[in-house]
Structure 1
């Protein structure tokens, strides 16, 4: 179905208006969002995305509506997984919590721009070369395999090539100057960590696009649906970060669920490529009569896999222990870092969270507690946080 230019224009203006609203009414004044605020606005953005999908169903038909929801759910799930990496980048650069919203909004805007470019490039390639479906399918199958590797999120590195290059070429400083991107350091203009963390987020977003765009093209080749499903999956990601911060580690089986989904879509793409085949060394350049997977089946597999993944993760005792221990480690480290935030109340919030997590850990079976990596080091960090807190109270 061809979407009129007027609808395209209205959609783009609407998305830009949402981003502008987010900046002027939430980001411009630095603050730490409350759980209530994050939950409210996350619900609003999900509601807007669902409402848009209903409009697509009504005016575009069942197939188009199903493709939108399949694409939106897949991209949203991949976005949640991306939050793990954002969390690590934020912690690595010690971004003050009250400034994290601005970094996240930049990441969302940059991601939207980068993915839009990839979307139109992908559409042009698909329209000209049917064999591109083979490439996209292979990318997803490789990505699915990589997700199955036993690499905890906490071990990923925040410094990518762009950061290393920036530090070598430009004068940088380790100290923040509010939310400024540049500051004066030793009499010279220097890049602040705020700019560097934005570069890290932007570079990571490009890598994410290499996985997510082939995934959604495996569900639909309608460029309008690809664009809107991708855009709405990114909307509200900032609020979702603050809503589920600290609970991300609980989803210990998320990578397996995403691997299954990406592998399924990769197989779907390869089957579609065989159905449209024109490569001379495959079946003499003739289409291969294979089963094609319907959008309805795709949507069912995606939703079902995510439900099973989330339920198993939430019921897992190992997942509960891993969540509490990782959160205790993060809050102990943050508490010991006195330059972490300019907000005095934030220090007490972190310490309060640490004590609650300690109480949770003590109620868990020893076999789950001792499975944590560097458990002795974590205990030392927690003990040091308690000592520092006592000093703070007695001074």
Structure 2
């Protein structure tokens, strides 16, 4: 398994992630449950994007980007480009995560001041899940080259499916996971702060907060299955794959609060993401016939995202079809809506 990740690079990256999560935890604990403002979300989004590019710059320098060795400079430039492309693709696909999170929070009437903790737990789960899946995926590709074709076909299918599903509201009332939880657990009719369990009339019950956390975890799994094969179309280096994924995820919470109020403005973005997935799938299927340069992949991704965002602002959205649910499914009080 070829990688640029030296023991020092892996150690510094791991140390950074641990420190970033600790800072985030302490900040969240100090602030307590509160509604995240758009200004706060914008500041933290810029911070995470800035930190990601600082890391990319450090990696480029460490690999010899400023040295006199032409081969080292070329390697540093290639890896930096792979990181930026992978980061942008993962960031773009994360937007779809955000819209699903928003749908869940709206459906379950999660109070705004509690959403921050839910997202933090979801991010921790996503980090652990993706780290494991990336290592397994990298090993499979090393051992079995044909796995790239499987990934490509899957992304092609996912992109087409996303295109046809764009603009349709999912019916959470018929979600299999939610139905299973309703049958297996006694669920309280209302929230009890940020607790996962509460007592109602002497009976211990799971709170709606626990249900939301469980569904967020399932969403993490579904989107990891889509996004991880996508980054392997850009590079098979485990260090680049993992770092670009992790940096995209670390800024996910701030990006959620920044975009949550603007999701209707970018109603065509799902079509753009579908096109990107189809392109990446085709790239993987053609890998032994023609290897599309990473720079072309980056340019195509930026172009598609820019066009769909501009068109979203120019073209009015269609009236959404009536969706199942929409009201709190366990009888939560109106004050939580």
Identify whether the pair has TM-score above 0.5, normalized to the shorter chain. Answer: yes
Count of residue correspondences: 315
Quote the Cα distance in structure 1 between the aligned partners of 2:295 and 2:167.
Answer: 33
Alignment of structure 1 residues 363-374 onto 2, 5 Å = none
Alignment of structure 1 residues 225-374 onto 2, 5 Å = 225-272=240-287, 275=288, 290-316=289-315, 318-319=316-317, 338-340=334-336
Secondary structure class of the residue paired with 1:94: coil
Displacement of 1:172: 1.7
Change (3 A) 1:73 1:135: same
The residue that corresponds to 1:10 in the other structure is: 12
Which of 22, 30, 33 is the matching residue for 1:30?
A: 33
Larger CA deviation: 101-110 vs 244-253 = 244-253
Alignment of structure 1 residues 99-114 onto 2, 5 Å = 99-114=114-129
Partners of 1:163 and 1:199 within 8 A in 2: no
Displacement of 1:188: 2.0
CA RMSD of aligned residues (A): 2.3
**Structure 2: stretches of 5+ with no match in the other structure:** 64-75, 327-331
Q: Is 1:171 matched up with 2:171?
A: no
Deviations 1:60-95 (A, max 9, x none): 301101110000000000001111110011111111
Displacement of 1:265: 0.9
The residue that corresponds to 2:21 in the other structure is: 19
Quote the Cα distance in structure 2 between the aligned partners of 1:66 and 1:216.
Answer: 13
Secondary structure class of the residue paired with 2:336: coil
Quote the Cα distance in structure 1 between the aligned partners of 2:306 and 2:170.
Answer: 26
Change (3 A) 1:170 1:269: same
Quote the Cα distance in structure 1 between the aligned partners of 2:266 and 2:241.
Answer: 27
Quote the Cα distance in structure 2 between the aligned partners of 1:159 and 1:225.
Answer: 38
Quote the Cα distance in structure 1 between the aligned partners of 2:240 and 2:114.
Answer: 33
Secondary structure class of the residue paired with 2:204: strand
Change (3 A) 1:146 1:322: same
The residue that corresponds to 1:367 in the other structure is: none
The residue that corresponds to 1:126 in the other structure is: 141
Secondary structure class of the residue paired with 1:172: coil
Deviations 1:41-69 (A, max 9, x none): 11111111121122223333011011100
Partners of 2:87 and 2:247 within 8 A in 1: yes
Partners of 2:265 and 2:312 within 8 A in 1: yes
Larger CA deviation: 5-14 vs 217-226 = 5-14
Quote the Cα distance in structure 1 between the aligned partners of 2:264 and 2:336.
Answer: 22
Partners of 2:87 and 2:248 within 8 A in 1: yes
TM-score, normalised with respect to structure 2: 0.88
Deviations 1:259-279 (A, max 9, x none): 11111111111112xx2xxxx
Which has the higher relative contact order, 1 or 2, with Cα contacts under 8 A spaced 6 or more apart?
Answer: 2
Displacement of 1:6: 2.4
Secondary structure class of the residue paired with 2:118: helix
Displacement of 1:295: 1.0
The residue that corresponds to 2:60 in the other structure is: 57
**Which runs of structure 1 show a deviation greater than 4 angstroms over 4 or more consecutive aligned residues?**
none
Change (3 A) 1:158 1:64: farther
TM-score, normalised with respect to structure 1: 0.75
Change (3 A) 1:9 1:156: farther
The residue that corresponds to 1:41 in the other structure is: 44
Displacement of 1:168: 1.8
Change (3 A) 1:86 1:153: farther
Partners of 1:271 and 1:291 within 8 A in 2: yes
Displacement of 1:23: 1.9
Quote the Cα distance in structure 2 between the aligned partners of 1:32 and 1:296.
Answer: 40
Which of 237, 243, 249 is the matching residue for 1:222?
A: 237
**Structure 1: stretches of 5+ with no match in the other structure:** 276-289, 331-335, 342-395
Q: Is 1:198 matched up with 2:186?
A: no
